[in-house]
């Protein structure tokens, strides 16, 4: 593990790391340091090492991970970033704020656009303001959607819409306009998921939710889509909504008919803690997610309509409950996976983006992601359907809390040290 970032595992690790090894119980504990898994797709596949750039059929380019805004002081727990308008970036801070800054190398200060700290719970280390997204028609209506842990009342997460005014440094979120779209009761303080985003073709809102926390999915939310929305990625229509009817169910959702009592919001399910999702900006605009594992395996999924990704029957492609002889019929296996521990010290996947920028043309179409503990930056290259090898781009990167994509398709990494990093051509 990169020694430069090791102390931050203790200081900031609960956001992601507490979701894997830290919440184990005696009956759930298996191995916490395993080798990388093979890409055969078999639930009992033997360990195999990650394919490195040096051994790949076509070598990956040299990539640098440098501070994008070197004059900007470290931000407290940055978890998401959006280029709200050309040249103006807004970052979500877990404590409950949105702050913005001009996107140039000499920028040295931020402006507070939104302060929701009074309503945002930080009682659990994985709770807080976790994500935000602009409405597809933001230029006209100014709507902003925010997903956060609520501070008052029962433990729950809230998806709300807010009006905004102004632009650039004068852009402001209007707290008094909050329209609560959806609330999700949360039994424990971890596994909140937390990415809210809009489909590039359908303008529907997608939200990833974890299994509610605890250890081993003790409440069985992963394989139950009748009682609640946990362990699922949901898809809802928020166009033209009101307080009386805060969202509608798209007619083409896989469980829209509720024929067997399923929650009609569900788009896909069987996730443990989908930490960071993204759409590929190029057609056919696939939806990607990194799903944090329990004690053994981290996985990357391509999310498709109606699919069951297996938690807590399987962790990655490995049997979880039962620990052997599990029935994987009808389950959708991950596109790729890697083991926790090992020489890199991996522990918690951070989902990223399919690269569509111009600075790194040889990475076009590759899905980039990282690991919170090790900071190892990895890539998957097409064809994805054949379970591509996981290739290492940078073994000594910063601890990755989240990724971001600017309007040009270039990628950024939000570090646990509070800095924002850009991915550029090396050396």
Q: How do 287-291 and 297-303 pair as beta strands?
A: antiparallel
**pTM reported for the whole predicted model:** 0.89
Strand partners, 173: 164
Helix (H, G, I), strand (E, B) or coil at 336: strand
**Predicted pLDDT of residue 91:** 98
**Cβ–Cβ contacts within 10 Å for residue 302, how many?**
18
pLDDT in tens, the chain (427 residues): 333 333 333 334 445 544 444 443 323 333 222 223 333 333 333 233 333 333 345 678 889 999 999 999 999 999 999 999 999 999 999 999 999 999 999 999 999 999 999 999 999 999 999 999 999 999 999 999 999 999 999 999 999 999 999 999 999 999 999 999 999 999 999 999 999 999 999 999 999 999 999 999 999 999 999 999 999 999 999 999 999 999 999 999 999 999 999 999 999 999 999 999 999 999 999 999 999 999 999 999 999 999 999 999 999 999 999 999 999 999 999 999 999 998 889 999 999 999 999 999 999 999 999 999 999 999 999 888 778 889 999 999 999 999 999 999 999 999 999 999 999 988 7
**Predicted pLDDT of residue 15:** 59
The rounded distance, in Å, linking the Cα atoms of 39 and 167 is: 47
Residue among 281, 425, 411 at smallest CA distance from 359: 425
Cβ–Cβ under 8 Å, residues 114 and 91: no
**Predicted pLDDT of residue 354:** 98
Strand partners, 163: 174
Query: Which string of b and e fits 55-82 if b means at least 16 CB within 10 Å?
Result: eeeeebeebebeebbeebeebebbbbbb
Q: Which structure tokens are listed for 240?
A: 């033209």
The rounded distance, in Å, linking the Cα atoms of 64 and 110 is: 25
**Predicted pLDDT of residue 6:** 33
**Predicted pLDDT of residue 385:** 78
Domains and CATH numbers, the chain: 3-425 (2.120.10.30)
**Cβ–Cβ contacts within 10 Å for residue 329, how many?**
5
**Predicted pLDDT of residue 267:** 98
Residue among 335, 304, 302 at smallest CA distance from 317: 335
Strands across the sheet with 111-115, in order?
A: 78-85, 88-93, 97-102, 111-115
The rounded distance, in Å, linking the Cα atoms of 196 and 234 is: 10
Helix (H, G, I), strand (E, B) or coil at 113: strand
The rounded distance, in Å, linking the Cα atoms of 402 and 416 is: 9
**Predicted pLDDT of residue 61:** 83
Only one residue has tokens 């009808």, namely 330
**Predicted pLDDT of residue 36:** 30
């Amino acid at each position: 593990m990169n020694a430069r970032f090791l102390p931050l595992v203790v200081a900031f690790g609960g956001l992601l790391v507490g979701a894997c090894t830290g919440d184990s119980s005696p009956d759930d504990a298996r191995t916490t340091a395993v080798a990388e898994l093979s890409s055969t797709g078999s639930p009992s596949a033997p360990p195999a090492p990650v394919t490195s750039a040096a051994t790949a059929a076509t070598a990956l380019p040299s990539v640098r991970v440098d501070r994008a805004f070197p004059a900007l002081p470290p931000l407290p727990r940055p978890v998401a970033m959006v280029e709200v308008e050309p040249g103006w970036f807004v970052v979500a801070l877990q404590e409950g704020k949105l702050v913005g800054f001009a996107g140039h190398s000499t920028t040295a200060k931020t402006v507070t656009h939104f302060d929701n700290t009074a309503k945002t719970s930080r009682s659990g280390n994985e709770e807080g303001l976790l994500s935000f997204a602009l409405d597809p028609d933001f230029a006209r209506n100014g709507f902003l959607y925010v997903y956060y842990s609520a501070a008052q009342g029962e433990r729950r997460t809230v998806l709300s819409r807010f009006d905004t005014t102004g632009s650039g440094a004068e852009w402001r979120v209007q707290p008094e306009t909050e329209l609560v779209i959806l609330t999700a009761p949360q039994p424990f303080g971890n596994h909140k998921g937390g990415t809210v985003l809009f489909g590039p073709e359908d303008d529907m809102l997608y939200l990833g939710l974890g299994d509610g926390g605890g250890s081993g999915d003790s409440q069985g939310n992963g394989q139950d889509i009748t009682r609640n929305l946990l362990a699922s990625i949901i898809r809802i229509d928020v166009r033209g909504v009101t307080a009386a009817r805060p969202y509608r169910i798209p007619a083409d959702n896989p469980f829209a008919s509720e024929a067997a009592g399923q929650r009609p919001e569900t788009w896909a399910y069987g996730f443990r803690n989908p930490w960071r999702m993204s759409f590929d900006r190029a057609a056919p605009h696939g939806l990607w997610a990194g799903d944090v594992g329990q004690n053994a395996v981290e996985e990357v999924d391509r999310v498709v309509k109606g699919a069951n990704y297996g938690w807590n029957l399987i962790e990655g492609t490995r049997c979880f409950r039962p620990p052997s002889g599990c029935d994987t019929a009808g389950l959708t296996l991950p596109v790729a996976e890697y083991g926790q521990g090992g020489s890199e010290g991996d522990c918690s996947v951070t989902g990223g983006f399919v690269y569509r920028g111009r600075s790194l043309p040889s990475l076009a179409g590759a899905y980039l992601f990282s690991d919170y503990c090790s900071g190892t930056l990895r890539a998957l290259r097409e064809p994805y359907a054949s379970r591509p090898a996981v290739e290492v781009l940078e073994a000594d990167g910063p601890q990755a809390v989240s990724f971001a994509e600017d309007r040009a398709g270039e990628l950024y990494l939000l570090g646990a040290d509070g800095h924002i990093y850009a991915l550029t051509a090396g050396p």
